[in-house]
Structure 1
Amino acid sequence: MPLDCSDRPRRPGLRSRSLVIAATLGLSSQTLPVEARNASLWGRGVFPVASFAGYTSGFGMRSHPLSGDVRPHYGIDIAAPLGSPIRSWWAGTVSEVIVDGGCGNGLVIRSGSYEHIYCHLGGQAGHGVYRSGGVLLRVGQRVATGQVIGHIGLTGSTTGPHLHWGLRYRGAWMDPARVLRAMAESRRRRNPNPLQRPNLGVFR
């Protein structure tokens, strides 16, 4: 699974507006999870990093920060303090526990036709089991939307603490920024008056 990534945070301190700025593409209703075909339901998704510190790398071709060679990056990198919680973007089932030199400790969660991938986690992983602090997950286990599924670590190919978050739809990689934009737009539509907009803690 080509997931190796490594980046030093280059834009620390960015907050909620960075989510909208970095996510520049839209999604049609045909590319949404079954549970979110109604665009208004996208707001139920959860931003996977609890303590957001900035974006360090986007989706697509890039120069790898360790080797320098140009290769595809199948996700986005989200900087966060070491040990801070990682949350499941959507409810689903743990389909794989990853241990390799690129992703490090990682999880794959399946939600309908989508798989969301989390890399560089702290803790211990192996033999279909992942442990970190009070988190204990096994292959086949159900997780809820927003459930803490791990913690930011330094495992795998990385030069600083961050989450590599990837998304596949029916086996094809897609830009997670598109999903983040759909989530932000759904919240905006539900609360068009900024004075009445609730605190979106998932964008901290």
Structure 2
Amino acid sequence: MQSKIRNQKEWTELVVASKVKLPLIGSKFDFLQKKGKNFSYKGLWAILLSISTFSTFLVLESFKKSPIQAQYAPTATNSNIWQYASFPVENFQTYTSGYGYRTSPITGQSQFHYGLDLAAPLGSYVRNWWAGRVVELSDDTACGTLIKIQSGQWQHIYCHLMGSVEESPQGRYLIDREGGIIIWQGQEIPAAARIGRVGMTGRTTGPHLHWGLKHNGDYVDPGLVLQEMFRYQVSSRK
């Protein structure tokens, strides 16, 4: 899987196979174009271009009911609620596995993949998608070192991070000393804050961020969320 760097700008756009663009939040990101037969996350562009009307309706309805949307309701002066969201990883390279059924690279068996895998160089910083509170830290599952953050009725999950989870009299915390990261359970984290680094902890065949999203306790396809982020951000530029 190869990516060609085209140029840099304040808002960098990812051109995904069919030239559908997704924005990143941050000051310096590369403009990447996915090309070649090895582009493995075919599910994303298929979702962006060919998703059924019914499934789109269900997801958009869930956005309408989201407390996040209620908190940041569009107004005459602020119609872009997704300005509060951040793309979750720096130095993004490609999508390696989408949401849904797949053949597991570990077991070779068909199984449901409850998230989106984003490849990035080992040690790349992971950013918090939306402001919220850390509700779980763990490093003893197949997900490796992980963080779960609650934002209203949304929960976002970050897996395979560098570092470990430790206990102290003050509480439970994740520490990545080389990355300068200390995250406490119960800590409030702003959007776009660096919360960890891409690692290879847990069950994984290469460095990547597994990013999961739940709404009201049910998993949601992160690709659809990125689609919504892009749609709102494009409309805000007009």
Please indicate the TM-score interval, normalised by the length of the shorter structure: 0.7 to 0.9
Q: 1:86 aligns with which of 126, 148, 154?
A: 126
**What is the CA–CA distance in structure 2 between the aligned matches of 1:96 and 1:12, rounded to whole Å?**
35
Structure 2 residue 187 is the aligned partner of structure 1 residue 141: yes
User: What is the CA-CA distance between 1:63 and the residue it aligns to?
Assistant: 0.8
**What is the CA–CA distance in structure 1 between the aligned matches of 2:165 and 2:212, rounded to whole Å?**
19
Structure 1 unaligned regions, length at least 5: 1-10, 193-204
Structure 2 residue 189 is the aligned partner of structure 1 residue 189: no
User: What amino acid sits opposite 2:71 in the alignment?
Assistant: E
Identical amino acids, percent of aligned pairs: 38
Structure 2 residue 81 is the aligned partner of structure 1 residue 35: no
Contact 1:30 1:37 (C-alpha < 8 Å) held by counterparts: no
User: What is the CA-CA distance between 1:51 and the residue it aligns to?
Assistant: 0.8
Structure 2 residue 141 is the aligned partner of structure 1 residue 151: no
**What is the CA–CA distance in structure 2 between the aligned matches of 1:47 and 1:178, rounded to whole Å?**
13
Number of equivalent positions: 182
User: Aligned residue for 2:150?
Assistant: 110
- The structure with more radius of gyration: 2
User: What is the CA-CA distance between 1:36 and the residue it aligns to?
Assistant: 4.3
User: What amino acid sits opposite 1:161 in the alignment?
Assistant: P
User: What amino acid sits opposite 1:30 in the alignment?
Assistant: K
User: Aligned residue for 1:63?
Assistant: 103
Contact 1:43 1:184 (C-alpha < 8 Å) held by counterparts: no
Partner SS state of residue 16, structure 1: strand
Structure 2 residue 166 is the aligned partner of structure 1 residue 97: no
More strand by share: 2
Structure 2 unaligned regions, length at least 5: 5-12, 23-43
User: What is the CA-CA distance between 1:43 and the residue it aligns to?
Assistant: 3.0
TM-score by length of 1: 0.82
Contact 1:106 1:121 (C-alpha < 8 Å) held by counterparts: yes
User: Aligned residue for 1:199?
Assistant: none
User: What is the CA-CA distance between 1:35 and the residue it aligns to?
Assistant: 3.2
Contact 1:99 1:126 (C-alpha < 8 Å) held by counterparts: no
TM-score by length of 2: 0.71
Contact 1:35 1:41 (C-alpha < 8 Å) held by counterparts: no
- Compare relative contact order (CA 8 Å, sep 6+) and give the higher one, 1 or 2: 1
Cα displacement string for residues 88-122 of structure 1 (whole angstroms, at most 9, x for unaligned residues): 00000000002223100000000000100000001
Q: 2:221 aligns with which of 150, 171, 175?
A: 175
